[in-house]
Amino acid sequence: MDAFLLQILNGLDKGSAYALIALGLTLIFGTLGVVNFAHGALFMIGAFCAVTVQKILSLSVETIDPDKTDFLGNPLKVKTPYVENWFGPDIGGTIIDWSVPLAILFAIPIMIAVGFIMERGLIKHFYKRPHADQILVTFGLAIVLQEVIKYFYGANPIPTPAPDALNGVANLGAIIGMDLIYPVWRIVYFCFACLIISGVFAFLQFTTFGMVVRAGMADRETVGLLGINIDRRFTIMFGIAAAVAGLAGVMYTPINSPNYHMGMDFLVLSFVVVVVGGMGSLPGAVLAGFVLGILESFASMEWAINLIPGINQIIIYLVAIVILLVRPRGLMGRKGVMED
Amino acid sequence: MSKLDVSRRGLLRTGAVTGAGLALPTIFTAQSAAAFTNDPTGGSVTLGFNVPQTGPYADEGADELRAYELAVDHLNGDGDGGMLNSFSSKALEGSGILGKKVEYVTGDTQTKSDAARASAKSMIEKDGAIMISGGSSSGVAIAVQGLCQEAGVIFMAGLTHSNDTTGKDKKANGFRHFFNAYMSGAALAPVLKNLYGDDRKAYHLTADYTWGWTQEESIKAATEALGWETVNTVKTPLAATDFSSYIAPVLNSGADVLILNHYGGNMVNSLTNAVQFGLRDKVVNGKNFEIVVPLYSRLMAKGAGANVKGIHGSTNWHWSLQDEGSKAFVRSFGTKYGFPPSQAAHTCYVQTLLYADAVQRAGSFNPCAVAEALEGFEFDGMGNGKTLYRADDHQCFKDVLVVRGKENPTSEFDLLEVVEVTPREQVEYAPDHPMFAGGQLGSCNPGA
């Protein structure tokens, strides 16, 4: 029973990342009709916003310690972060320790700007081109972005830990008398994902801006004929989608040390999530993200692998094939979309 | 009186056949004596360094390239000479190899077997490389080793730890200085017994490819010989990034040790996930839960950050060693690049010097002469004590290091500390050991 519940938690946790990326992908596809293969790269850039904030906060002044030597026998250069010099070791240390949550503040404007530049600078020129062209250009852009990141940050993963206060484990089963230990940061990640998803839905549902965007998604031409500049709103939505992917990346860094190709690891899976959920369906993307995350976790269990060897590697694609055969529009896709 | 009836056509035919018959043995003799793949005829010789310049091991590849560049400098008489000063063989004098200036070309393996073979082929066929070296993966090493055997050039392997490289996939033209999975198990087992006792239950997570399989087989055999029980062995996909669904079952498995047969990004993520799930703080069967990483590297430890603290593993070499060879290499490398070398850099540097030395001693670049000079070669002063290049399988036998993640590092390079230097005798095995069975060394191929 414990193992069963743990895998559900793992699935929800994995599903959080899938859902956040798929949500952004669907926003872009639903508004602009663009299949954005650079969306994984936005997730990766978000993660590197956290790395950058950590590096900035850790900028140090070097002093020579004559009593110690480095590996070449020279006097050791001791690094002390500026924030520790300015605010004292306790407060300075705490600021560095909380660099990942602080990076959210840094990542939001950066990611919106990246999304805006990406859309205005490149993607808008491909709106009327076939999906194949859009895929090629956005995939190319993803490779360029990851190589830029590799140039500046190297190929190795960079540890970006969670704050000490959120780094331990919590016994979620204590209330019901079970031993159900789960990492605190992963619980934080799940809650954060739910908050962002709710925020996006509320924004679309309860604001005038969101109402116009939804109207534009349903009938772009008619909204345009009403004198509303729908293109500008869609560009803003691209920025918001980039910010959602970026925030997913920021908060993911303590779970796995970020590296330059982490976006690619999520990209294909997220597309499968979008297809399973239904192209253009925001609730579908979220639902499929969590469902596939849970299925992937269960498929990694020993009994599943013993039953069908290799199931842990193919489960998501297997589900996608079944969905495409049985219900081509996806779990919550609109009738007619992807069915012809 | 006989009549000599000779026609012009008959004379030509007979002459041609006789000439060809007389010349035939000479052609064969000439080929076998001098012609071999990429015989260097000018004033320089080209070596091919095939390392991951892109992909997840690009940082390790960059460190390998730095080491190769340093080795070429030292071979050509530039710099301070590095390990040439401590190397027991004094055949090399800093004047190139056999008087020829050493030049090099590089290829990008991308840590993909097909890409690595393509880049090695290009260096051999287009650039005239007489030797190929490098790599950060056993799959790549085995693929490139096979290519070099077919092409008739020597392959001096870089970082490859699978038993298969000098086991079932060994080749007469291939040589490995790096240690292997069996040696990791043999070196780690006594240390683990001292630290954790002989009544333990181990759970293995293993990367699902050649290196992972042999690593699991080796460490499992070594720990079971101590009396440890293997609770479970689970293969994880090489492409896996989040190991939480593989770690979760460990919590309720009854195991009190988790052995991570992972390397590179897999190891960084699986160790990070294991620590996240609080495994290191657990008490199971009345004992503290422990994690073991059989193959460590400093670059990898850096990626895992504070999670490596107190975790034991093995490594081929470490920059903190205080023998003359290691000190000379660290001084040369550190002075040139500003930071200490990795174990991958060390093995690549040593392999280049060993190849050059073998050519110098053999007096020929012919791969068969070089192989003969390397087979059974015993040397010292290269950082791992007295070392033997065994003739039977072209595997180096030397001391192996057991290391532990350092609790209080003084710099970003000071991540591991050497716990024990396991003597060579303890990690040796018979050439026909079952873990290395199944392949034939074959005979040397000079190519051409």
Distance from CA of A67 to the nearest CA of B (A): 13
Q: How many CA atoms lie within 13 A of B115 on its CB side?
A: 14
**pLDDT (mean) for A25-32:** 86
Model pLDDT, residue A161? 94
Helices (H) and strands (E) counted in chain B, each on its own, are 13, 17
Model pLDDT, residue B251? 87
| Subunit contact A313:B56, Cβ cutoff 8 A | no
Instruction: Tokens for A241, please give them.
Output: 């989608």
| Subunit contact B58:A155, Cβ cutoff 8 A | yes
| Subunit contact B330:A72, Cβ cutoff 8 A | yes
The pLDDT tens digits of the residues spanning B280-302 come to 999 999 999 999 999 998 888 88
Nearest to A302 among B55, B234, B414 (CB): B234
The pLDDT tens digits of the residues spanning A234-275 come to 899 999 999 999 999 999 999 999 999 899 888 888 889 988
**Chain A: residue whose CA lies nearest to B320:** A71
Model pLDDT, residue B10? 53
Model pLDDT, residue A301? 85
Nearest to A181 among B58, B251, B330 (CB): B251
**pLDDT (mean) for A160-183:** 88
| Subunit contact B278:A181, Cβ cutoff 8 A | yes
Distance CA B162, CA B182 (A): 8
**Chain B: residue whose CA lies nearest to A259:** B56
Q: How confident is the model at residue A279 (pLDDT cuts 50, 70, 90)?
A: confident
Secondary structure of residue A147 in the 3-state scheme: helix
Nearest to A159 among B244, B246, B305 (CB): B305
**Chain A: residue whose CA lies nearest to B328:** A72
Q: Which chain B residues touch A169 with a CB distance below 8 Å?
A: 276-278, 281
| Subunit contact B413:A302, Cβ cutoff 8 A | no
**Chain A: residue whose CA lies nearest to B277:** A183
**Chain B: residue whose CA lies nearest to A313:** B237
Distance CA A260, CA A232 (A): 31
Distance from CA of A297 to the nearest CA of B (A): 5
**pLDDT (mean) for A28-50:** 92
Q: How many CA atoms lie within 13 A of B23 on its CB side?
A: 6
Q: Which chain B residues touch A93 with a CB distance below 8 Å?
A: none
Neighbour count for residue B35 (Cβ, 10 Å): 12
Distance CA B185, CA B190 (A): 9
Q: Which chain A residues touch B249 with a CB distance below 8 Å?
A: 3, 301-302
Per-10-residue mean pLDDT for chain B, 448 residues long? 48 50 42 73 96 87 96 97 97 96 96 95 97 94 97 97 96 98 97 96 93 95 96 90 90 93 91 93 94 91 91 96 96 96 97 98 97 97 96 97 93 91 96 93 92
Model pLDDT, residue B21? 47
Nearest to B277 among A157, A159, A183 (CB): A183
Q: How confident is the model at residue A328 (pLDDT cuts 50, 70, 90)?
A: confident
Name the residue with higher pLDDT: A5 or B223: B223
Q: Following DSSP, what letter does each residue of B279-306 receive, concatenated?
A: GGG-EETTEE-EEEEEE--HHHHHHHGG
DSSP structure class, residue B127:
S
Quick one: which of B398, B323, B402 has its CA closest to B354?
A: B398
Instruction: Tokens for B166, please give them.
Output: 């000098």
Model pLDDT, residue A8? 92
The pLDDT tens digits of the residues spanning A176-198 come to 777 788 999 999 999 999 999 99
Instruction: Tokens for A131, please give them.
Output: 């999906």
| Subunit contact A161:B320, Cβ cutoff 8 A | no
Angle, alpha carbons A326-A329-A331 (nearest 5°):
75
Q: How confident is the model at residue A32 (pLDDT cuts 50, 70, 90)?
A: confident
Highest mean pLDDT among A192-206, A214-228, A266-280: A192-206
Q: Following DSSP, what letter does each residue of B159-222 receive, concatenated?
A: S---GGGGTTT--TTEEE-S--HHHHHHHHHHHHHHHH-S--EEEEEEESSHHHHHHHHHHHHH
Distance from CA of B173 to the nearest CA of A (A): 32
- CB contacts < 8 Å between A and B, how many? 116
Model pLDDT, residue A336? 60
Model pLDDT, residue B225? 96
Nearest to A161 among B278, B281, B306 (CB): B306
CB A149 within 8 A of CB A141: no
Q: Which chain A residues touch B269 with a CB distance below 8 Å?
A: 157, 256-257
Distance CA A189, CA B385 (A): 49
Predicted structure pTM score: 0.87
Distance CA B390, CA B165 (A): 14
Q: How many CA atoms lie within 13 A of A109 on its CB side?
A: 3
Distance CA B293, CA B212 (A): 12
**Chain B: residue whose CA lies nearest to A3:** B249
Distance from CA of A84 to the nearest CA of B (A): 18
Q: Which chain A residues touch B58 with a CB distance below 8 Å?
A: 150, 154-155
What pairing do the DSSP bridges indicate for beta strands B257-261 and B44-51?
Answer: unpaired
| Subunit contact B251:A2, Cβ cutoff 8 A | yes
Distance CA A101, CA A96 (A): 10
Residue B278 phi/psi, 5-degree rounding, is: 75, 20
Model pLDDT, residue B20? 47
| Subunit contact B273:A313, Cβ cutoff 8 A | no
Quick one: which of A192, A190, A172 has its CA closest to A180?
A: A172
Q: How confident is the model at residue A81 (pLDDT cuts 50, 70, 90)?
A: very high
Distance CA B362, CA B380 (A): 19
Q: Which chain A residues touch B320 with a CB distance below 8 Å?
A: 71
Nearest to A168 among B278, B304, B307 (CB): B278
